[in-house]
Chain A
Amino acid sequence: MLEVSNLACSRGDHRLFSGLNFNLHPGQIMQVQGANGSGKTSLLRTLCGFLMPDEGDIVWHGQKIGELAEEYHDEILYLGHLNAIKDELSGLENLCISAGIAGIELEEKEAVTALRRMGLRGREMLPTKVLSQGQRRRVALARLLVSDAKLWILDEPLTALDVGAVALIQELIAEHLARQGMVVFTTHQPLHVAGMEMRILALS
């Protein structure tokens, strides 16, 4: 369970938000809403531990994430604006390495299955620089299939995806929530998860 209390963040001289409080329980999904520049990405990055908040605490299962450090990293999956894939490597290599860095030894078969489910059949071995933007995003999102992280922090995951891929991601999120996972995300496109009550956090 994620508990955030009295969180305040700034970028440079500029205070983005303060006094933020929320809890997230297993099986829950929360969307962070706000205008451009309201601090959505900064909030997500603070949840990851990249940014130090000015005030407040982020507590995971009763312990501050600062103290948990690597143990907390083990339980989260972050997908930002950048795809985090190497152009020179194939989708397969990228996925295996991403998984490896996250501490998971992935077998080639499992990786191929994941990439195929993401709609990349026949393209698993191509260097990602020859794939389209949408296909690269799919390679990046393939991590969702092989990760065992409990908390997914997704910053605009649907960028560059077509309708089919959007439906697939919604399906994956639903599966994750059914497994008692948690999701915090931002999006500029509509994202609906079947049968799920979406919590909203609005940053003014």
Chain B
Amino acid sequence: MKKSSMLDLLVLVIRRDLVLAMRRRADVLTTLIFFVMVVSLFPIGVGPEMDMLRKMAAGVLWVAALLASMLSLGRLFSADYLDGTLEQMMLAPQSLSMLVLGKMAAHWMSSGLPLVLMAPVLGLQYDMSMRALGVLIVSLLLGTPVLSMLGAIGAALTLGLRGGGVLLSLLVLPLCIPVLIFGTGAVEAASSGLSIASHLSLLGALLVLALVFTPWVTAQALRISME
């Protein structure tokens, strides 16, 4: 028996959560299917005029990704909370922020990444150009981790509460608005042939800020909820 390091712990937590996600594939797939459905609902709701859909594409895809992320966040901590593994993690001899970062990373890989991969396929339904699709992927790649991380704070605060997923969304959606704005801004700039650099760098800045602050804040929120 030997003692493990912080990096070992991070890898352990990520692997654990990914294995669990694989064994409960249904949860992961339902989020993805929700994403596809929401994107498909809009043309049905507003009419199939290609010109209008092309203009709406960035916004629709981003809002759908946002909603799908919110839905999937419920399961970030709740299963572990219910079977007692979360409190064991809080008794780990390593920084709780590190463990939380691991869970966030695994969550993004099993929920956010599939959205990123699915989005271009859906973008074709909206007749988006190749350039726009490319920027869409990059913006989602930068933005969905931020959504996961902000959502983790909400998930930690609403642990075990009756309101559940809806309350979580209520708390987190306003905080996600900057990501939405910069993400869609980048794609629309690409569609109009304008520069995408500023939007993407702002997204990148949000990602860095989130990486630095959200694990610690989420750890505090977990401690508050577990009292």
Contacts and interface: CB of A to CB of B under 8 A. Distances in A.
Do A and B touch each other in the complex, judged by CB within 8 A?
yes
Given A52-B227, A103-B92, A85 B20 contact: no
Nearest to A84: B84
B24 interface: yes
Given A50-B226, A88-B24, A97-B12, A102 B93 contact: yes
Interface string B93-105: 1110001000000
**Which of A80, A83, A105, A146 gathers most chain B CB within 10 Å?**
A105
Contacts of A101: 9, 12-13, 88-89, 92, 99
B49 interface: no
B162 interface: no
B83 A83 contact: yes
A78 B91 CA distance: 8
B195 interface: no
B44 interface: no
A86 B83 contact: yes
**Which of A49, A76, A86, A107 gathers most chain B CB within 10 Å?**
A86
Interface in B1-52: 1-4, 8-9, 12-13, 16, 19-20, 23-24
Interface in A54-100: 70-71, 73-74, 76, 78, 80-89, 93, 97-100
A43 interface: no
Interface string B139-154: 0000000000000000
B85 A86 contact: yes
A171 interface: no
**Which of A48, A76, A102 gathers most chain B CB within 10 Å?**
A102
Interface residues of B, number: 30
B176 interface: no
A82 B83 contact: yes
B83 A85 contact: yes
B90 interface: yes
B27 to A, nearest CB: 11
Nearest to B24: A88
B95 A70 contact: yes
B20 A73 contact: no
B1 A106 contact: yes
Given A82-B83, A88-B24, A48 B1 contact: no
B16 A97 contact: yes
B91 to A, nearest CB: 5
**Which of A83, A85, A87, A100 gathers most chain B CB within 10 Å?**
A100
20 contacts: A49-B91, A50-B226, A50-B227, A51-B227, A52-B227, A70-B93, A70-B94, A78-B87, A78-B88, A82-B83, A82-B87, A83-B83, A84-B83, A84-B84, A86-B79, A89-B23, A101-B92, A104-B3, A105-B1, A106-B1
Given A86-B85, A107-B1, 5 more contacts: A50-B87, A51-B227, A74-B93, A82-B82, A102-B93
Interface of B: 1-4, 8-9, 12-13, 16, 19-20, 23-24, 79, 82-85, 87-95, 99, 226-227
**Sorted from nearest, which 4 A-B pairs have the closest CB atoms?**
A82-B84, A74-B93, A84-B84, A88-B23
